[in-house]
C-alpha cells in the first residue's frame, strides 16, 4: 500500500458512506439515536477536506490524518472508535510502501485500539463483530499464500458475514445496550459501516 492506495481507500470509504447514509441511519433508528449515517458522513466529509490539501509522504500519514479528523469531527461513539482505529493503522505504515504483512499489523493494531477504547468483545453487537473476523480472514489468506488483494477480498466477505450475524445478538455496549433483549433482530449500525470499510479496501486493491 502506497500513498495513492491509502488515499483511494479513504475516498472509497467516503463514497460508500455517502451511498449508505440512509441505511446506516435507519439501522441506528432501530437500536440507537438515528445518527450513525450522519455521523459517518460528517466525519468522512471532513476527512476528504483535510486530505485534499495534505502533503502525505507515507500511507501512514494519510491514515493517521484520517483518524485524527474523525476524532475531531464526529461527536458520537463511532468518531473516537474509528478515529483511534485509523490512527493505529496509520502508525504502523511508516514507510513509503507497506506490504500485505504490514497492512495486517496495522489492521490488528486498529482492532486493538477499538477494544482498548470501547472494551467490547466479539458478541457484544458492535464494530468489533465485523472487524474481528475481517482481521482473522485477512491473516488466514496471507498464511494461505494470498496477496493484499486476495486478503482484502476475504476480509470484506468475513466482515459482511460478521455484520449479518449481529442481527441475532443482544447489544452489550453502546446505546443499543439500553434496549436489552429488544436489540435482538436488528443489524448493528457500526458493524455495517465496518463492513463498508473492508469492502472499500477490497475494491481499491482489486483495481
Quote the CA–CA distance of 78 and 173 in Å, as a whole number: 12
Residue with Cβ nearer Mg ion (58 or 126): 126
> How deeply is 70 buried, as exposed, middle or buried, from its count of CB atoms within 10 A (0-12, 13-18, 19+)?
buried
Shortest Å, Cβ 206 to ligand ADP: 26
Name which of 100 and 128 has its Cβ closer to ligand ADP.
128
Distance in Å, CB of 39 to Mg ion, minimum: 6
By rule CB under 6 A, what string of x and - marks binding of each residue 83-122 to ligand ADP?
-------------------------------x---xxx--
Contacts of ligand ADP in 35-54 (CB under 6 A): 35-36, 39
Closest CA to 155 of 175, 136, 129, 182: 136
Place of cell 461513539: 77
**Binding of residue 160 to ligand ADP (CB under 6 A):** no
C-alpha–C-alpha distance, residues 160 and 167, integer Å: 12
128, 78 Cβ separation under 8 angstroms: no
**Where does the chain show beta strands of DSSP type E?**
none
Residues 25-64 that bind Mg ion (CB under 5 A): 28, 32-33, 35-36
Kindly tell me which of 83 and 106 has the beta carbon lying closer to ligand ADP: 83
# of chain residues touching Mg ion (CB under 5 A): 6
Q: Which of residues 70-129 bind Mg ion (CB under 5 A)?
A: 76
Q: At what angle do helices 128-143 and 100-118 cross, to 10 degrees?
A: 160
Write down how long the chain is. Answer: 207
174 interacts with ligand ADP by CB under 6 A: yes
The 10 Å Cβ neighbour count of residue 57 is: 11
Residue ranges binding ligand ADP (CB under 6 A): 28, 32-33, 35-36, 39, 76-78, 81, 114, 118-120, 126-128, 173-175, 188-191
Residue ranges binding Mg ion (CB under 5 A): 28, 32-33, 35-36, 76
Amino acid at each position: 500500500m502506497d500513498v495513492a492506495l491509502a488515499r483511494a481507500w479513504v475516498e472509497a470509504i467516503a463514497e460508500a458512506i455517502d451511498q449508505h447514509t440512509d441505511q446506516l441511519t435507519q439501522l441506528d433508528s432501530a437500536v440507537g439515536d438515528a445518527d450513525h449515517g450522519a455521523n459517518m458522513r460528517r466525519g468522512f466529509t471532513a476527512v476528504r477536506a483535510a486530505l485534499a490539501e495534505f502533503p502525505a509522504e507515507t500511507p501512514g500519514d494519510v491514515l493517521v490524518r484520517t483518524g485524527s479528523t474523525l476524532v475531531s469531527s464526529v461527536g458520537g461513539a463511532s468518531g473516537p472508535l474509528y478515529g483511534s482505529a485509523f490512527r493505529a493503522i496509520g502508525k504502523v505504515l511508516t514507510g513509503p510502501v507497506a506490504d500485505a504483512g504490514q497492512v495486517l499489523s496495522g489492521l490488528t493494531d486498529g482492532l486493538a485500539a477499538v477494544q482498548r477504547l470501547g472494551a467490547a468483545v466479539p458478541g457484544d453487537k458492535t464494530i468489533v463483530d465485523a472487524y474481528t473476523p475481517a482481521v482473522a480472514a485477512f491473516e488466514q489468506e496471507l498464511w494461505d499464500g494470498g496477496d493484499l488483494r486476495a486478503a482484502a477480498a476475504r476480509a470484506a466477505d468475513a466482515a459482511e458475514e460478521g455484520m449479518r450475524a449481529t442481527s441475532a445478538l443482544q447489544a452489550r455496549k453502546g446505546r443499543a445496550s439500553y434496549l436489552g433483549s429488544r436489540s435482538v433482530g436488528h443489524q448493528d449500525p457500526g458493524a455495517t459501516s465496518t463492513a463498508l470499510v473492508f469492502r472499500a479496501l477490497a475494491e481499491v486493491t482489486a483495481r
